[in-house]
Amino acid sequence: MPSAPALYPVNLVLAGRSCLVVGGGPVAARKVEGLLAAGAQVHVVATSVGPDVRALTGATWEERAYRPGEASGYRLVVVATDDGEVNRQVADDAEEAGVWVNAADDPASCSFMLPSIVRRGPITLAVSTGGRSPALARWLRARFSDELGPEYEVLAEILSEQRDAIRAQGRSTEGLAWHEALDSDILDLIRAGEVERARERLQTCLSSS
């Protein structure tokens, strides 16, 4: 089997940017939901818009066929229909216009892949198999989701607060003992509800470096 090209992971800022989803079924609905969670302005075009898409608040939709070339009017396009010819048309239009496109279940037509995602507040954990096995990506996401409990969201906020405080003092945050703090009992303290003690532990670790 030929090796797939290496992927370059990024986190796109889609807030306020127009995105097109072609397709109106359950798969398309999941794509729309993910885009809305990122703050994108989502428009859906499909010959049949199903109840899952209609139930989503924040997206607009039209029940019609995709118009050749319309992908060029968007920053990002996702196509998820059960019509291979339509999927290829959308992907070709987007590629020609320099618009990033994801074609569900067709890695060869994609200019970007959609990973399986776990969100915990500011933490986003993405798992991708490069389109080789979406089932494996979903399985790994479920495992990591169980590992990444709500205490990690609190931890992220504590670390952010301390980083901002150090920078406000005109000091560099580089070279400090962040890893030592994370390897300490700080997570156990948060799990026990002792958030103030966790903050103190972080400060102690950083002040000793």
DSSP 102-145: EETT-GGG-SS---EEEEETTEEEEE--TTS-HHHHHHHHHHHH
Q: How does pLDDT run across 14-53, given as a tens digit for each residue?
A: 999 999 999 999 999 999 999 999 999 999 999 999 999 9
Question: Would you report the helix, strand and coil content of the chain in percent, each value rounded to 5?
Answer: 45, 15, 40
Domains of the chain (ranges, CATH numbers): 18-114 (3.40.50.720), 115-148 (3.30.160), 151-207 (no CATH)
Closest CA to 183 of 202, 199, 208: 202
Q: How does pLDDT run across 54-72, given as a tens digit for each residue?
A: 999 999 999 999 999 999 9
* Dist. CA 66–CA 77, nearest whole Å: 12
Residues with Cβ < 8 Å from 102, sequence gap 6 or more? 31, 77, 78, 79, 110, 111, 112, 113, 114
Tokens matching residue 132 = 């080789």
pLDDT of residue 121: 87
DSSP H or E stretch at residue 19: strand 18-22
Q: How does pLDDT run across 111-160, given as a tens digit for each residue?
A: 998 888 888 888 988 888 877 888 898 899 899 888 889 999 999 999 99
pLDDT of residue 3: 61
Q: 117: exposed, middle or buried (C-beta count within 10 Å: 0-12, 13-18, 19+)?
A: middle
Residue in this structure with the two tokens 């389109």, named with its chain if needed: 131
Residue in this structure with the two tokens 């901002």, named with its chain if needed: 164
Answer whether residue 196 shows pLDDT above 90.
yes
Closest CA to 165 of 203, 124, 131, 194: 203
Q: What is the pTM of this model?
A: 0.80
